[in-house]
Amino acid sequence: MTLLVRSLVGQIERLTDFKVTKKDAIDNENNISATVLQTSRNNHAFPLIQNEGALFYEDEEYVIKKTKFTPIGDFLQVEIEGLHRAYSDLGDNYVYTTSGKKKKLYIEDMLDIALKGSGYSYSITPAGLDDSFEVEEFGNGYSLGLLNDIKDKYSCEYEIIGKKVHIAKEISRDTDYVIRDRLNVKNPSQELDTSSIKTYIRGFGKKDEKTGKYVVEAEYTSPLASVYGIKHANPIIDDSYGAGDKGKLEKRLEKELTDKLEITISLTYTEIVARGMQDIRKGDYVWCILEPFDLKTKLRVVSVESYSDPHKPDNFTFGKLRPSYKKTVASLLRTQKSISKMIDSSSGKLKGSAVGENITIGPQAVFEDGYDPTKITIPTYTLANATTDGLMSAADYSKLASIVLGPGGQVSIALATETENGLMSAADFSKIKRINVGTATVDISTLPQQLETINQRLTALENK
């Protein structure tokens, strides 16, 4: 992989000693993060890393938005966050004109306004897209924000290649590739999110000018309310619904309510070149077979995270998987019913009836392979002696038995001799025993006797 840097004055150099992570998603999150270590090999290029400069990676340009420098030994290391050039350009281009009063606009009309002055053009694949919308004062904003507004209105997607924005109902390919655990998948995970789930919504149409009351009202309760209870969503108030539009309003409520469990699957995909499975891209539909999650269906790749390290496989995230109401409610109710038999709802503690007064392991109990509690024996040991092992070995017993304790329980160690070790070794004792005084060798062991003789002579002399 090659990583180039361009400074603010246009100088371009090649960087070395780097790591890059690239993320590309259908929600137009297109960026890279890079870590570059300053070394003797890239000293000429490292100073060119500047905010609002650019990095070039895999034939794409990214504008440097964040840099963080830290010292590593005698050199510096920089962490870089870069945004794809197209999203940086469109995010900085402000459109000051608007479409004017409320009127019908086609998607081409909106794109002409959104991209005005940006230098970017567009192409449209019209299949599946609505014809037009009534809008008022469309414009007066950043190109990227207006482009996302168009995407939301038409429930479509866009992808930017070079200086052209490609619009379609979906930017995707329908493939026959198979992603399967234990074949080409590592570290699969499944995330269930209920943070925004709602189970009840009300809707109101036009108001009667005389009474001030709504001429039509409707409500919708999700089947998931039987499990999660009533969770109110913001009401829909739309004066386009008249007295005869209750059915339409009810359908609108069911569509608007966020009452579906959303499951996100993420995994690391290991390419298998021999099987021709190295071309999975963002937006592709692929077969996803993950037995641990009881999953066998086609899912869409919504984001791909790739790495400059050739030994690190890409990481894929798939689109939201929304299980059917019937399966979801049935599964949750079964779990709830099973738990209610064991847990006291008032105290939250395990019911005594669930286990009885005493827990008994009977003949029908199943244990892991190789484990049989009936065959377990607890070993017993006798005390050790000088010839027989027990709680300790016979050798250790003999060592402990030879320890002599003196007054106060302190270990007593014998004095050394010329032949036995003691407080010092026998060899050291022999060396110290003899001290050279001048040319004579004095035997320390005779000093007490000599001193006693000298004292006797002194006493005799004093008494004369």
Is the domain of 180 the same as that of 221? no
pLDDT at 327: 55
Residue 380 belongs to some domain of the structure = no
Residue 360 belongs to some domain of the structure = no
Residue 378 belongs to some domain of the structure = no
Which residue, 63, 88, 113, sits at the end of a domain? 88
Is the domain of 98 the same as that of 157? yes
Is the domain of 303 the same as that of 178? yes
Is the domain of 186 the same as that of 272? yes
Residue 269 belongs to some domain of the structure = yes
pLDDT at 272: 55
- Give bridge partners of residue 56 from the DSSP assignment: 4, 61
- Integer Cα distance of 319 and 373 in angstroms: 48
Is the domain of 58 the same as that of 164? no
Residue 125 belongs to some domain of the structure = yes
Range of the domain at 317: 174-193+261-323
Which residue, 307, 323, 339, sits at the end of a domain? 323
Is the domain of 156 the same as that of 223? no
- Give the residue ranges of DSSP H helices in 257-393: 325-342, 352-355
Residue 108 belongs to some domain of the structure = yes
pLDDT at 69: 96
Per-residue pLDDT 10s for the chain (464 aa) are: 899 999 999 999 999 999 999 999 988 889 999 999 999 999 999 999 999 999 999 999 999 999 999 999 889 999 999 999 999 999 999 999 999 988 899 999 999 999 999 999 999 999 999 888 888 899 999 999 999 999 988 889 999 999 999 999 999 988 888 888 877 888 888 887 778 889 999 999 999 989 999 999 999 998 888 878 899 999 999 888 889 889 989 998 988 887 766 677 888 887 654 445 557 889 998 888 888 888 888 888 889 999 999 888 888 888 776 655 455 555 545 545 554 555 555 655 555 555 555 556 666 666 666 677 667 777 777 888 888 888 888 888 887 777 777 766 676 777 777 788 777 777 777 777 666 666 666 666 676 777 788 888 888 888 86
Six token digits for residue 206: 């036009």
Is the domain of 19 the same as that of 75? yes
- Integer Cα distance of 250 and 255 in angstroms: 9
In this structure, which amino acid lies at residue 219?
E
pLDDT at 274: 47
pLDDT at 322: 61
Is the domain of 267 the same as that of 206? no
* Backbone phi and psi for residue 235, each to the nearest 5 degrees, phi listed first: -70, 155
Question: What secondary structure letter does DSSP report for 208?
Answer: P
Is the domain of 82 the same as that of 7? yes
pLDDT at 149: 92
- Total domains, the chain: 5
Q: How far is CA 36 from CA 47, 59, 62, 83, 84, in A?
A: 11, 19, 15, 17, 19
> Tens digit of pLDDT for each residue in 220-239?
998 888 878 899 999 999 88
Angle made by CA atoms 166, 167, 170, in degrees to the nearest 5 = 115
What CATH number is associated with residue 70? 2.40.30
Strand spans (E) along 85-117? 94-98, 103-106
> Tens digit of pLDDT for each residue in 366-423?
666 667 766 777 777 788 888 888 888 888 888 777 777 776 667 677 777 778 877 7
- Integer Cα distance of 68 and 425 in angstroms: 64
In this structure, which amino acid lies at residue 293?
F
pLDDT at 58: 92
Is the domain of 243 the same as that of 313? no
Is the domain of 83 the same as that of 103? no
Which residue, 62, 88, 114, sits at the end of a domain? 88
pLDDT at 256: 83
pLDDT at 448: 74
pLDDT at 411: 67
Is the domain of 417 the same as that of 287? no
Residue 149 belongs to some domain of the structure = yes
Q: Contact, 221 vs 199, CB < 8 A?
A: yes
pLDDT at 414: 72
In terms of Cβ atoms closer than 10 Å to its own Cβ (0-12, 13-18, 19+), residue 436 is exposed
Residue 278 belongs to some domain of the structure = yes
What CATH number is associated with residue 107? 3.55.50.40
